[in-house]
Amino acid sequence: MTYRGWSDTANLSVVGLQWGDEGKGKIVDYLASGYDAVARFNGGSNAGHTVVIGTKKYTFHLVPSGALKGKQLLIGAGVAADPEVLAEELALLPEEARSRLLVDSRCTLVTPVDKDFDAMLEGARGTAALGTTKRGIGPSYALRALRLSPRAGDLAAGFDFAPLASFYKALSLDPARLAAWAASSHELLGRLTGDVAGRIESIADAGGSVLYEGSQGTLLDLLHGSYPYVTSTHTTASYIPAALGIPPKLAGKALGVMKCYATRVGSGPFPSEIAGESAERLRTLGNEYGATTGRPRRVGWLDLVSLKYTIRLNGVEEVAVTKLDVLSRMDDVKVCVAYKLNGSETTDFQSAMGALDQAQPVLDTPLSLRGADFEHGLPAEGKRLVSYIEDQLGVRVRFMSHGEERSKTIEL
């Protein structure tokens, strides 16, 4: 038996350190040239990654962001894949890009009734609604745990929908509708499914490398985020081996992505949130509207308390900071350095999570970026901000992004 050992793998994972929408898609697209494949490991079509090349904008919900770099594209078993959304995205790509996609046969599928159930469940919550996208992601993951949800590879042999139909009888499930969905999904997935874990191991055996693309943000992790206002899966770098079915040594290092301010979509606590004129200006300058839903995002100042927590959780040593161009047009920029809770201050996010909705931000005014020009490298204002972030968070700033377009990235 030949021993296979992957020492000091060059693989890298890109994860969000906030509430999502940090700019991971752009960073993945920027980095993809240096890797043989890009693998999506979590989430579903309830979030979008935007890539801007020149004047053209692409929004990917399931297809990895490396689609435009000629790389192998892998959708792992940890993803909840909606075949209808996948078909729409693939139709926008050239045949050459479509031919490079492999969907893991163990991938959970989102059915039309999952979406119906999602909408019904969100409506039943009333004033306690979570603000989900109603894309069926939560129900699909829940039914996977109940062993009722079809996987991508199950359609070829003919999946028995009877138990699922029984579960969904309250929704007056139409068997013909589900049968039509299964047929069209199999037609799409039949030529795309395979063993993503095996492909990643083959790349490693050949001395290649893989870039892992995460969806959502760490503060929305099902176990470690601000439950119950979280997403339906795990969003941390430690989930990569389980989600893709690979050994931990192939997970590589983690690069954290953070905006130089904070945003959140949907309900839930948001200690550094702001309102009024400053919020409207920040939202407008940053174009803070959901890539999937178009909903305006809630906005707030950079939260160092939560970032220290997510950096520790992911084992991050380097970060990419995005949206610097937005702060260069803002006055009175602030940073949350602690929470005031029950009459005292804390910088421990974990201990504050039980009462996060009551936490008040303790704000500091860092060095201003007002008027900073990033078009010809990192200006003095940017260098001072890098030092501030590195001193506060104990990580190295590796990339600075100052616009949506791919070229507006500075590598330090």
Tens digit of pLDDT for each residue in 92-140? 888 888 899 999 999 999 998 888 888 888 888 888 777 777 888 888 9
Question: What average pLDDT score do residues 212-240 get?
Answer: 94
List C-alpha distances in Å: 104 to 109, 196, 242, 252, 326.
11, 5, 13, 20, 38
Span 137-180, pLDDT tens digits: 888 988 898 888 899 999 888 888 888 777 777 666 677 888 89
Contact 339, 359 (CB under 8 A): yes
Residue 292: pLDDT band by 50, 70, 90 thresholds? Answer: low
d(CA 152, CA 110): 10
Residue 5: pLDDT band by 50, 70, 90 thresholds? Answer: very low
Which residue segments constitute the domains of the chain, with CATH numbers given? 12-106+192-411 (3.40.440.10), 108-189 (1.10.300.10)
Residue 185: pLDDT band by 50, 70, 90 thresholds? Answer: very high
Does residue 49 carry a catalytic annotation?
Answer: yes
Which of 21, 104, 154, 303 is the catalytic position? 21
Q: Report the pLDDT value the prediction gives residue 179, as an integer from 0 to 100.
A: 86
Q: Which two tokens stand for residue 159?
A: 């999946």
Considering 35-49, 264-278, 371-385, the range whose residues carry the highest mean pLDDT is: 264-278
Residue 291: pLDDT band by 50, 70, 90 thresholds? Answer: low
SS3 content of the chain, % helix, strand, coil (to 5): 35, 20, 40
d(CA 225, CA 315): 16
Which of 36, 49, 104, 186 is the catalytic position? 49
pTM, full prediction = 0.90
Q: Angle, nearest 10°, between helix axes 83-91 and 175-189?
A: 40
Q: Report the pLDDT value the prediction gives residue 4, as an integer from 0 to 100.
A: 41
Q: Report the pLDDT value the prediction gives residue 319, as an integer from 0 to 100.
A: 97
Model confidence at 394: pLDDT above 90: yes
Question: What average pLDDT score do residues 340-367 get?
Answer: 92
d(CA 252, CA 311): 16
Q: Report the pLDDT value the prediction gives residue 7, as an integer from 0 to 100.
A: 46
